[in-house]
Copies of this chain bind each other. A is one copy, B any other.
Amino acid sequence: MNNSDGQFMHYLVRRLFPICRSLTGDGVRKTLAILGEYLPDLKVKEVPSGTQAFDWTVPNEWNIRDGYLIDPAGKKVIDFKNNNLHIVSYSESIDRTIGLKDLQSHLYSLPDMPDAIPYITSYYNQSWGFCLTQKQRDSLADGEYRAVIDSSLKPGSLTYADLIIHGECDREVLISTYVCHPSMANNELSGPVVSTMLAMYLSKQKNLRYTYRFVFVPETIGSIVYIQKNLNYLKEHVIAGFNVSCVGDDRSYSYLPSRLGNTLSDRVATHVLKHIDPNYRTHGFLERGSDERQYCSVGVDLPIASIMRSKYGTYPEYHTSKDDLDLVTPMGLEGGLNALRSCVSAIEVNRRYRCTQYCEPQMGKRGLYSELGTRSISHAIRMRMDILCYCDGNHSLLDIAELIGCSIGEVYPFANELEDYSLIERLD
């Protein structure tokens, strides 16, 4: 990991930031096209409006060209072009004159955060509205306003993409993130950007043991559509995975378990995070709120955990215009990438081993033990002996790392050495 990874990811966040994304529409397409510049094998797919997916129906496609509010003095006081959060997502097209009093029920602001524009959506209920800062709202003069939203909501399609990086076997690690949020940085451009970087990294690796599936979808409806199309395959092949969201600020690390709570993903995530930051925050599954809601739903139950920096809903800037390009930092993005990359590495090397003979081997004759018997032995010798003593076919390398109190990254080179000396043999 070098600093340029963080710089590159922050550049990519900045590049994607101005695009107005929503559940559907050209914003998602533009976003995926940019990601596709870095991921040549990314497959973009379209699902027609009206398609059924379990209990849901793919909604009409929404696109917006402009939106503004002109005050009684003729001044454009709210302008979509300044910030795409100003328009409630999926607002219907309007052009009307309306008194301030009637307008109020279409305005959304945050009294507690007077400088922040809230992020509001109305995907499944036809409506329209403007989001603005409380300060802007308080300064609105009485009188007649002209409210204009130039949008279209009509049959079209929902857009998503996926990318498969093939490994030695067809068992998969699933990485899912979402591409439906307008101009906000941690939630959610950090997810697609870190996922893209992780995919770029994995594409360059040789001899990947597992196959990696990256999924870029609009939240909720997108993952539901994806699950419906792939449920049986995913259930048979996915052995671990992560929902990637809010991985771009540099304040903390967070973990949210899968519904079942004890999957490989959960054990890897808690192991890796503990060794990156002993103070990482653990959330309960009841605090879920992203696409793990679908991946971990009853009967779907894919082994998907969430690794985050500051979790959605827990930081003050969440779902406002304050979740911006300053909140997300190169170092924050690097930390998110590093955590996920460490998880992937842990999954790759996590094998069960078995000693090839009874009793301790004579390490000394292989140069792996000190020549003299003294009062203490070195860390390396201790590591070799301790790893050996749990290579019983029941413990995975992750289990062994936990038992020994080291990270799997520290343990792996020793396990590899012991395998090279034929003192242990792999079972997986």
Query: Footprint of B on A, CB under 8 Å?
Result: 53-57, 88-89, 108, 118-125, 127, 220, 223-224, 227-228, 231, 259, 285-286, 288, 293-294, 296-301, 313, 318-320, 354-355, 357-362, 364-365, 371-376, 385-386, 388-392, 403-405
Contact = CB atoms under 8 A, between A and B. Distances in A.
A297 B372 contact: no
Given A220-B360, A297-B389, 10 more contacts: A54-B358, A54-B359, A123-B373, A286-B386, A286-B403, A298-B354, A298-B390, A300-B359, A313-B375, A319-B375
A17 to B, nearest CB: 20
Contacts of A365: 124
B355 A299 contact: yes
B389 A298 contact: yes
A228 B89 CA distance: 72
Nearest to A286: B386
Contacts of A53: 359
B359 A227 contact: yes
Q: State the 3 A-B residue pairs at the shortest beta-carbon distance, nearest first.
A: A121-B373, A125-B371, A55-B361
Contacts of A405: 286
Given A118-B375, A286-B386, A375-B313, A359 B297 contact: yes
B360 A300 contact: no
A357 B389 contact: no
Interface centre among A300, A354, A358, A374 (most CB of B within 10 A): A358
B360 A293 contact: yes
Contacts of A390: 298
A296 B386 CA distance: 12
A354 to B, nearest CB: 7
A404 B284 CA distance: 10
B55 A359 contact: yes
Contact of A362 (B124, B298, B374): B124
A220 B286 CA distance: 47
Nearest to A395: B298
11 contacts: A54-B358, A108-B374, A119-B375, A120-B373, A124-B364, A127-B371, A231-B358, A286-B404, A297-B358, A297-B360, A313-B376
A237 to B, nearest CB: 17
Given A374-B118, A375-B313, A404-B286, A297 B362 contact: no
Nearest to A355: B298
A397 to B, nearest CB: 15
Contacts of A386: 286
Contacts of A120: 372-374
B125 A391 contact: no
A359 B296 CA distance: 8
Contact of A389 (B119, B122, B285): B285
Contacts of A320: 375
